[in-house]
A and B are shown apart, each in its own frame.
Chain A
Amino acid sequence: MADNPVPSSLKRERKFYLSNTLILFIVLIVMVLLFSFTSKSFHSVYNLVSMLSNLSFIGIVAAVLTIVMIAGEIDFSIGGNIGLTSCVAAFLLDRGINGWLVILICLIMGLAIGVFNGFLVTNVGVNSIIATIGTMSIWRGLAFTLTDGKSILAINPVIDYLGRGTVFKIPFPVILFAIVFGVCYLVMDHSKWGRKVYATGVNPMAAYLSGINVKKVKFVSFIFCGMAAALGGLILTSLTAVGMPQHGMGLELTIISAIVLGGTALGGGKGKILGTLVGILILSVLYNGLTMLNVYYYYVQIAQGAVLVAVVSTYEIRQKKRY
């Protein structure tokens, strides 16, 4: 006899999960088809390339942020990180620093940002929402301070390649995205450390009592996220050829929306990297498609918000919460 058993809707969790991603894929395909038929420019090669490059740098950050969220935390500072990285990169390039060195320095800075976030959350114990909203402003502020609010041109063969190079006609950022996504998928779905992340997110106490170093798991995921955001910042700098303190503003909301759309719960423990991929694709295709149809920009914003609310509502309604 089960004591305090759980309602049957929860047993279906696993099955429900798979069919969810399937539904999302269907939504995605329908959208792509719709836009292809209604807008000639949507399926032009130029458009697809530009859309893919854009969503790649977002996707890299989203894939790694998914790991942080599965661990039960969140990182709102990714946008500020992107802005700061972009400014530091442009600043250094402007002073003639070698492109490769700039990449290295920015990635190390991303690591440092991750360490700081991780330290605040796991060592000091600040709630990650508060901590990263705070650091978000710090990184953003540092970016503005560094460039005095101005933008700096960032032109350099190495950096240019990062965002605008191609490998056999495939944009380099897409390759990077595929690699990062592939690694994240492998790690979360098939590796020992990934299992520890899920355990940490589902029940940190049970994970702790099973000998898992929960603090370390979270700390490391913040570090990866900091570095991913820095990489994203570098790609964006390359795509726009400029370092701006405004880069990445508001991006954290879009990314988190895409992750939640893909089925990762805010509480942690539930979520799949594959889901994030579909979430990113849906939001990007929606944005791009509507833009191609010359839909008024603000309507596009409404549409993105509406899709998020609609999809997440279906998840919640299926859970049948009683209170």
Chain B
Amino acid sequence: MAKNDGLILKMENITKTFPGVVALDNVSIDLRKGEVLGILGENGAGKSTLIKILAGNYIKDSGSTYIDGVKKEFKSPAEAMASGIRVIYQELNTLDNLTVAENIFVGEQITTTPFKIINWKEINSKAKELLQHLGANLDPNIIMEDLTISDKQVVEITKAISKKATILVMDEPTAALSEGETQSLFKLIRRLKESGVSVIYISHRLKEIFEITDRVTVLRDGKKIATVDTLRTDNDELITMMVGRNIKDMYPKRELPIGEVIMEVNNLVAEGVKDVSFNLKKGEILGIFGLLGSGRTHLVRTLFGVNSVKKGEIKVNGKKITIRHPKQAKDNNIGLVPLDRKADGLALFLGVKENITLANIEDLGNGFLIKKQVEREKARNWISNLNIKTPGIDTVVSSVSGGNQQKVVLARWLESGSKIIILNEPTRGIDVGTKIEIYRIMRDLCEDGSSIIMVSSELPEVLSIADRILVMSKGRITSEFSRKEANEEELLQSACI
């Protein structure tokens, strides 16, 4: 039975669970024709899951979806696209080895009869037309690989529009854009609004929500908190809805003694690292802030032995060390919780206990055999110490939530006896509750004499947790701030030099 209430999209009581976790709990949202609806929420709130259900990637457990009043069940992305839904993902889904025009018209070659030969001239000119219609001046013949992320995004949007998208979903579109590029994107979104396209704009950046959305729905821990008119709300109200508690409680207080220098890096030169020098003191949390491409991950890789040192030295406890392989880093009691925990941090098909003991297999028994009892005890120890939520120690680690997976990787390095722990974006993609736990764990570790290097692009996090902050840009350290001196503007300025 078709309902006619002027809504182009209505999702009612959507519930989706995964093993061990309720990703969405009776969430309802609606989208009016021609509006920009923001979906706001912390990492892990359920935004991605909701969108993947809308896009046909995931199948919901219960609830209904109505497109323009008609109830629809999408069993695949193709079905969702046929109903006018297009999603521009944060990572983009471009075919980088093809041209702009080929990307726009993929799946729909324009051919000339009688031989069904592809008419490139027509494809290119149509592509140019569509691009210009959206205010972009791109050459349709350029290979996608050579474009900036901002331009790639424009191509994706053009592709969506050419396929008559009526509902355009943009998932964290500005993560990799500069301020200027963000403004161009907003101009484009306004143009789309005018031509009748309805937009769902997912973000965790308040500034953008206020700039571009008409209404905003806030999600938290899988539940919908509220939907409000953007004009009628403010920062404080949105933050309270997003976080659910006073934000000042998020970051535990630290007044801990900081000891002597435990690690010295002098004039380090390596791939992506132009000339870096810094110290790390015992018991300190050293934050490294920088934007995409600043060289932070390159620095991390060099410190951990993945990339080779071209010039300069690394000293631990006063002694110069050579690290050419992660094993050597490990032997010097350095540990790494990598940026992409799924791809680089976890053996997804192995259990929680195997992942915890992965860096310290040698200690699982005296000879060449593993004593299962020893392994079980070690696993249980860390599971309780770090409060890792898992159905059991043998549970396959892929079915444990992101925050707990992160704890597993951290437990691995603690088990291996690391005293210097490098964390690359430690709370990325993690729910608020676990984030706070991880901050507390970090503080406790420092109290016990460990030292932490935390690479992060989340300003509130860096400003509240780190004792000292180094800012990186283009492979160099541009400035250093103590926690008291640091503030958002100066950090960002330093990061853009």
Q: Please determine whether B347 and A206 come into contact, CB atoms closer than 8 angstroms.
A: yes
Q: B20 — which chain A residues lie within 8 A by C-beta? A: 2
Chain B residues with CB under 8 A of A207 = 347, 358
**Of B325, B350, B396, which one neighbours A198 at CB under 8 angstroms?**
B350
Q: Does A26 sit at the interface, judged by CB under 8 A? A: no
Judge if A270 is at the interface, Cβ distance under 8 Å. yes
Quick check: A1 and B44 within 8 Å, CB to CB?
A: yes
Query: What are the residues of chain A within 8 A of B368 when measuring CB–CB?
Result: 191-193
Query: Inside 8 A of A196's CB, which chain B residues have their CB?
Result: 361
- B348 touches which of A1, A202, A209, A210 (Cβ 8 Å): A202
* Residue A190 interfacial (CB < 8 Å): yes
Return A235 CB to nearest CB of chain B, in Å. Answer: 27
Q: How far is the CA of A3 from the CA of B412 in the complex (A)?
A: 21
Tell me whether B364 and A192 are in contact (CB under 8 A).
Answer: yes
On whether the beta carbons of A1 and B370 are closer than 8 Å, the reply is: no
User: Which A residues, 213 to 237, have Cβ-Cβ distances below 8 Å to chain B?
Assistant: 213
Interface string of B337-356 (1 = CB under 8 A from A): 01000111111111100100
Determine whether the beta carbon of B402 is less than 8 Å from that of A2.
Answer: yes
Chain A's interface size range is 35 or more
Kindly state whether residue A29 has any CB partner on chain B within 8 Å: no
Interface of A is mostly: helix
Q: Which A244-293 residues have a C-beta within 8 angstroms of B? A: 269-270
Q: Note all chain B residues with C-beta closer than 8 A to A5.
A: 18-19, 21, 23, 399, 401
Report whether A209 and B338 are in contact in the complex, using a CB–CB cutoff of 8 Å: yes
Residues A10 and B336 in contact, CB atoms below 8 Å apart: no
Cβ B370 vs Cβ A190 within 8 A: yes
B336, B344, B347, B402: the one contacting A199 at CB < 8 Å is: B347
Q: Which chain A residue lies CB-closest to B349? A: A202
CB-defined contacts of B304 to chain A, threshold 8 Å: 209
* Cβ contacts under 8 Å, A192 to chain B: 361-362, 364-365, 368-370
B431 at the interface (CB under 8 A from A): yes
A:181-204 near B, CB below 8 Å = 186, 190-193, 195-196, 198-199, 202-203
> Which listed residue, A6, A14, A206, touches B394 by the CB 8 Å rule?
A14
A4 touches B399 (CB 8 A): no
Contacting pair A2 B345 (CB below 8 A): no
- Nearest-CB residue, chain B, relative to A192: B361
Are B347 and A202 in contact (CB-based, < 8 A)?
Answer: yes
A-side contacts of B326, CB under 8 Å: 208-211
Asked if B184 lies at the interface with its beta carbon under 8 angstroms from chain A, I say no
The answer to whether A206 and B401 touch (CB under 8 A), given A1-B21, A1-B45, A1-B431, is no
Q: In the bound complex, do residue A205 and residue B396 qualify as a contact, i.e. CB atoms below 8 Å apart?
A: no
- Complex contacts, A6 vs chain B, CB 8 Å: 18, 348, 398-399
Among A89-109, those with CB < 8 Å from B are: none
Assuming the contacts A192-B370, A209-B336, asked whether A8 and B19 have C-beta atoms less than 8 A apart, the reply is yes
A195 to B363, CA, bound (A): 13
Chain B residues 32 to 84 lying within 8 A of chain A, measured CB to CB, are: 43-46, 48-49, 76
Contacts of B431 in A (CB 8 A): 1
User: Out of B22, B45, B347, B370, which one reaches A269, CB within 8 Å?
Assistant: B347
* Mask of B304-335 contacts with A, CB within 8 angstroms, 1/0: 10100000000000000000011101110000
Task: Report A-chain residues with C-beta under 8 Å of the C-beta of B330.
Answer: 210-211
CB neighbours of B362 from chain A (8 A): 192
B293 within 8 Å of A (CB atoms) = no
Whole-angstrom distance between the alpha carbons of A322 and B331 in the complex?
Answer: 43
User: Beta-carbon contacts of B364-391 to A below 8 Å, as 1s and 0s?
Assistant: 1100111010000000000000000000
Query: B346–A1 contact, CB under 8 A?
Result: no
Are B401 and A209 in contact, CB atoms less than 8 angstroms apart? no
Which residues of B have CB within 8 Å of A3?
A: 43-44, 48, 402, 429-430
Complex interface: chain A residues within 8 A of B358 (CB)? 199, 206-207, 210, 212
Expressed in whole angstroms, the Cα–Cα distance for A208 and B229 within the complex equals: 50
Shortest beta-carbon distance, A220 to chain B, in Å? Answer: 13
> Nearest CB to that of B413 among chain A residues?
A210
Does any Cβ of B come within 8 Å of A40's Cβ? no
Contact of A1 among B325, B343, B402 (CB under 8 A): B402
Residue among A3, A193, A202, A203 with the highest chain B CB neighbour number at 10 A: A3
B221 close to chain A: CB less than 8 A: yes
Residues of B within 8 A of A208 (CB): 326
In the complex, whether B222 has a CB less than 8 A from a CB of chain A is yes
Given A186-B369, A190-B369: A210 in contact with B402 (beta carbons within 8 A)? no
A209: chain B residues at CB < 8 Å are: 304, 306, 326, 336, 338, 344-345
Q: Closest CB-CB distance, A193 to chain B, in whole Å?
A: 7
* B396 to A, closest residue via Cβ: A13
Most buried by B among A202, A203, A209: A209
* In the complex, residue of chain A having the shortest beta-carbon distance to the beta carbon of B16: A5
Q: Are A203 and B19 in contact (CB under 8 A)?
A: no
CA of A205 to CA of B304, assembled, Å: 13
A11 within 8 Å of B (CB atoms): yes
Q: Could you say which residues of chain A place their CB within 8 Å of the CB of B161?
A: none
Min distance, Cβ B479 to any Cβ of chain A, angstroms: 30
Quick one: which of A1-28 are within 8 Å of B by CB? Answer: 1-8, 10-11, 13-14
Q: State in angstroms the CA–CA spacing of A198 and B358 once bound together.
A: 10
**Interface pair B46/A206, CB less than 8 Å apart:** no
Closest to A13 in B: B396
The docked-state distance in angstroms from the alpha carbon of A178 to that of B48 is 52
29 example contacts (A-B, Cβ-Cβ < 8 A) are as follows: A1-B221, A1-B401, A2-B20, A2-B402, A3-B44, A3-B48, A3-B430, A4-B48, A5-B19, A6-B18, A8-B399, A11-B395, A11-B399, A13-B396, A190-B369, A192-B361, A192-B364, A192-B365, A199-B354, A203-B344, A203-B348, A205-B343, A207-B347, A209-B345, A210-B358, A210-B412, A211-B329, A211-B359, A269-B347
Query: A3-B48, A5-B19 provided; 11 other pairs, C-beta below 8 A?
Result: A2-B20, A5-B401, A8-B19, A14-B396, A191-B369, A192-B361, A199-B350, A202-B349, A202-B350, A209-B326, A209-B336
